[in-house]
């Protein structure tokens, strides 16, 4: 169940759009509560449509590395230079900025993309080929870009304190905490040691990753089907650039390297046209697989603990949390 923001928030946004961008808003529609902020669709009196994200102040509950000082200029350059024309890109304010302060929060405005999400099922063949070309183009783009604030992978485990604190807190859950928390305790407490073992494995892989000195490229880092959209013309858009960084290519490859042989072979055969002879480091793939899984578990723990998603969302989060843990526990080569 989505919680509709107060009408005063919408009025504040309409005023900000007029003052900061010169937009005369005819309609402002709340879309959803996304990770880290509220999302809206705005239509102006001229008929132009825009996507707004009003980012939460602070970073509580956000464990994935991100930097708007990096990813907003990245999206702007990729689009304006024609490297990746089919991506969302920040609209400049009247003063030339890529975002706008709205009270304690920050608003980013981009053109509204009308299309259909690819989704989390297996990618159709034509989408897979398109995606491999887009990822190859992205990874080859770094020499053409410039950044005042480059955001470079440092192989950190920023979610570890919150993950461990929430695992310890499982013991203190009582009936007063509600059904979501009780179900979380019953499902995860017996498997808490599995999480700790996966975390120790991640730390070993972290040491190996830092010693490897891999080639760095621009990575999207979140290339699942819910971040891919096709428009009516068949163009494939890469959405949600909030966790983009300069990192080893393996960061993006975890979304493909573990797939069935036909899927991986199709993707890799297209991708390597951009990087002939390149090879992947299995330890880096394992690092990113473990870090992503444990990062997601930490996010789900916090979300269920906050009890702001409702019973159905708690059930969905808990099921996905356990599936992620199963994948980490039974990963081949786990020590």
> Which of 94, 78, 95 is CA-nearest to residue 86?
78
pLDDT digits (tens, 9 = 90+) for 193-213: 999 999 999 999 999 999 999
The pLDDT of residue 280 is 97
- How would residue 180 be classed by pLDDT, with cut points 50, 70 and 90? confident
The Cα 305–Cα 279 span in angstroms is 41
**How does pLDDT run across 68-125, given as a tens digit for each residue?**
999 999 999 999 999 999 999 999 999 999 999 999 999 999 999 999 999 988 899 9
Joined together, the tokens standing for residue 136 give 């190859």
184: pLDDT strictly greater than 80:
yes
Mean pLDDT computed over 166-191 = 88
Cα 174 from Cα 182, distance rounded (Å): 7
pLDDT surpassing 80 at residue 127? yes
pLDDT value of position 335: 42
Residues 129-164 pLDDT 10s? 999 999 999 999 999 999 999 999 999 999 999 999
Q: How far apart are CA 82 and CA 87, in angstroms?
A: 10
Residue 67 DSSP SS3: coil
Residue 239: name the closest of 63, 125, 89 by CA.
89
Q: How far apart are CA 205 and CA 288, in angstroms?
A: 9
pLDDT for 331 beyond 80: no
């Amino acid at each position: 169940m989505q919680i509709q923001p107060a009408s005063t928030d919408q009025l504040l946004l309409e005023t900000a759009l007029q003052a900061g961008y010169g937009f005369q808003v005819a309609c402002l529609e709340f879309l959803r509560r996304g990770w880290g902020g509220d999302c809206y669709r705005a239509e102006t009196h001229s008929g132009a449509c825009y996507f707004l994200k009003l980012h939460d102040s602070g970073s509580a509950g956000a464990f994935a590395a991100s930097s708007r000082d990096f990813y907003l200029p990245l999206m702007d350059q990729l689009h304006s230079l024609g490297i990746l024309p089919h991506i969302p890109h920040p609209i400049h304010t009247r003063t030339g900025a890529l975002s706008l302060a709205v009270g304690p929060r920050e608003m980013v405005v981009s053109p509204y993309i009308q299309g259909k999400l690819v989704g989390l099922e297996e990618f159709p063949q034509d989408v897979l080929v398109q995606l491999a070309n887009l990822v190859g183009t992205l990874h080859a783009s770094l020499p053409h870009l410039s950044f005042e604030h480059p955001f470079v992978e440092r192989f950190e485990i920023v979610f570890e304190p919150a993950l461990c604190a929430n695992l310890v807190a499982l013991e203190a859950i009582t009936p007063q905490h509600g059904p979501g928390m009780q179900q979380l305790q019953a499902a995860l407490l017996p498997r808490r040691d599995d999480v700790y073992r996966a975390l120790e494995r991640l730390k070993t892989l972290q040491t190996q990753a830092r010693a490897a000195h891999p080639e760095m490229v621009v990575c999207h880092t979140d290339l699942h089907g819910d971040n891919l959209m096709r428009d009516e013309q068949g163009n494939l858009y890469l959405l949600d650039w909030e966790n983009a960084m300069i990192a080893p290519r393996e960061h993006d490859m975890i979304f493909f390297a573990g797939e069935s042989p036909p899927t991986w072979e199709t993707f890799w055969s297209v991708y390597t046209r951009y990087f002939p002879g390149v090879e992947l480091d299995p330890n880096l793939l394992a690092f990113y697989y473990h870090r992503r899984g444990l990062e997601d578990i930490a996010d789900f723990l916090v979300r269920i603990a906050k009890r702001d998603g409702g019973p159905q969302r708690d059930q969905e989060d808990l099921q996905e949390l356990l599936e992620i843990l199963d994948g980490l526990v039974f990963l081949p080569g786990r020590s």
